[in-house]
Amino acid sequence: MRNTQATQLLFELGKPGRRANRLPECDVPAPDLASLYPRVSLRSEPLGLPELGEGDVVRHFTNLSTLNMSVDTHFYPLGSCTMKYNPKRNERLASLPGIVDLHPLQPDDTVQGMLELLYEVQTYFAEISGLPAVSLQPAAGAHGELTALMAAAAYFRDRGEARTKVLVPDSAHGTNPASATMVGFQAVTIRSRPDGSVDMEDLRSKADDQTAVFMITNPSTLGLFEKQIHEITTLVHEVGGLIYLDGANMNAILGISRPGDFGADMMHYNPHKTFSGPHGGGGPGAGPICVRDFLEPYLPVPRVAKHGQTYSLESDHPRSIGRVRSFNGNIGVLVRAYCYIRAYGARGMKEVSQHAVLNANYLLARLKHVLPIPNGDRCMHEFVASASRLKKEKGVTAMDIAKRLLDFGFHAPTVYFPLTVPEAMMIEPTETESKETMDAFVVALETILAEPAENLHHAPSSTAIVRPDEVKAARQPVMRWTAST
């Protein structure tokens, strides 16, 4: 039974005079504030925050939480986003006193345990990537891209090379070209061939002495390992450029293939994907990067270092690009990654990828009979199906299927990405789903595809709301509550 108060806003629930929180009596003298501060600096009007009791707040947010799908409650086959199970133990361990309550500017000798943890997780990241130098500072995958591109730009600047171009495949995440632009590079698109691999001719025609970096996602956003990886890295290195690996899909190759070994010079991880940090409704993530030795001097500061048995944060790196955010990085996320890696160990790491790939191939094998999968019979950790034939024959779109799946208790796959596949539905089960769950998902899809198109156009029918008007939201934007709303 739905609680109708759930969808009222905090502001509508509030009532003057209600309070949730009380502070202790102030135990020092409390002089008139106007005697302490310029009067103009003090707030003259009451602050327009809602006034609520603790019970109001608890019920409100608890009710709101029930309007979400989540990994704890539903299967989330959301390709490229790697929505795997988030271990409860990691949440508890990341919240231990002595872990969660450290001030970022505490003296190094009061945080030796934390620095040891960070130093260790840094060595694991290096080992898994095959790239020796690590920065833990970037706050998200896209922030890692940006940081690495800055390091590359600083490297070329040091060498007196004015390289202007960053090459990005058309199937890449949109953050790649956006990051390149922010560092002052021109983003140049490289075409993909129909099978999803990089079009080598296009690459050959565009890779030249102006090329700073080629950003590649491998395995690709189609869930395919780029077979020409050796030719690509050789070609780019021959013109003096660097290879950046978008690590979004590392879940497929842990302990199986290392970017540093196959020619990447820089990469980022998405610990919230690969190492099971929860996505938190859109964040936080983190974006640690790994680079080759010759790029190490350019990494941002501070960096975690070890001298003898002592750990420290070091900022004395004269060729560093500087600092890319405040303090030390998204430590809470890195702590969870540490716990995750230690819980699996070396062999377990590899098994993660083996089972991620097994699950994806199983789902592919079962779905290919009902939904065309343009890029073949095998995949890595994810695959891209296309609803374009259905659209032509029945007028059913990828979005219709996505919405109808919600009625069957499954989150929708990623739709309309990558841009290179029409009516794309990108599906990634991850290693933490059971065969039973995937079987149920297949049955749901089969049922949906056999339904009259009408059902799909009207879907979902079981959710709190149905097909919100996004055009209206953008054309007549209402982005805050006001009393008249």
Q: Residues 6 or more apart from 173 whose CB is under 8 A from it?
A: 80, 217, 221, 246, 248
Q: Binding to another protein by residue 380, rule CB under 8 A?
A: yes
Q: Binding to another protein by residue 441, rule CB under 8 A?
A: no
Q: Binding to another protein by residue 180, rule CB under 8 A?
A: yes
Span near another protein by CB under 8 A; candidates 202-210, 239-247, 353-361, 443-451 = 353-361
**Which of positions 130-169 make contact with another protein (CB under 8 A)?**
130, 139-143, 145-146, 150, 153
Q: What minimum distance in Å lies between the beta carbon of 210 and another protein?
A: 16
User: What six digits make up the tokens of 79?
Assistant: 């390709």
Asked whether the CA dihedral 217, 152, 185, 81 is positive or negative, the reply is positive
Q: Which of 344, 391, 449, 455 binds another protein (CB under 8 A)?
A: 344
Q: Binding to another protein by residue 327, rule CB under 8 A?
A: yes
Q: Residues 6 or more apart from 84 whose CB is under 8 A from it?
A: 71, 251, 273, 276, 430, 431, 432
Cβ proximity to another protein, 294 vs 481, nearer residue: 481
Q: What minimum distance in Å lies between the beta carbon of 284 and another protein?
A: 3
Q: What minimum distance in Å lies between the beta carbon of 201 and another protein?
A: 20
Q: Binding to another protein by residue 196, rule CB under 8 A?
A: no
CA separation for the pair 123, 140 (Å, rounded):
19
Cβ proximity to another protein, 353 vs 389, nearer residue: 353
Q: Binding to another protein by residue 179, rule CB under 8 A?
A: yes
Q: Binding to another protein by residue 124, rule CB under 8 A?
A: yes
Cβ proximity to another protein, 343 vs 443, nearer residue: 343
CA separation for the pair 215, 266 (Å, rounded):
9
Q: Residues 6 or more apart from 12 whose CB is under 8 A from it?
A: 481
Residue that has been written with the tokens 């001097």 in this structure: 297
| Strand, helix or coil for residue 262 | coil
Span near another protein by CB under 8 A; candidates 116-124, 238-246, 385-393, 420-428 = 116-124
Cβ proximity to another protein, 241 vs 329, nearer residue: 329
Q: What minimum distance in Å lies between the beta carbon of 154 and another protein?
A: 9
Cβ proximity to another protein, 105 vs 450, nearer residue: 105
Burial 220-259 (b: 16+ CB within 10 A, else e): bbbbbbbeebeebbebbeeebbbbbbbbbbbbbbbbebbb
DSSP 410: B
φ, ψ (nearest 5 deg) of residue 296? -55, -45
Total residues at the site for another protein (CB under 8 A)?
199
**Which of positions 85-114 make contact with another protein (CB under 8 A)?**
85-87, 89, 91, 93-107, 110-114
Instruction: Please say whether the beta carbons of 464 and 2 come within 8 A.
Output: yes
Q: What minimum distance in Å lies between the beta carbon of 466 and another protein?
A: 5
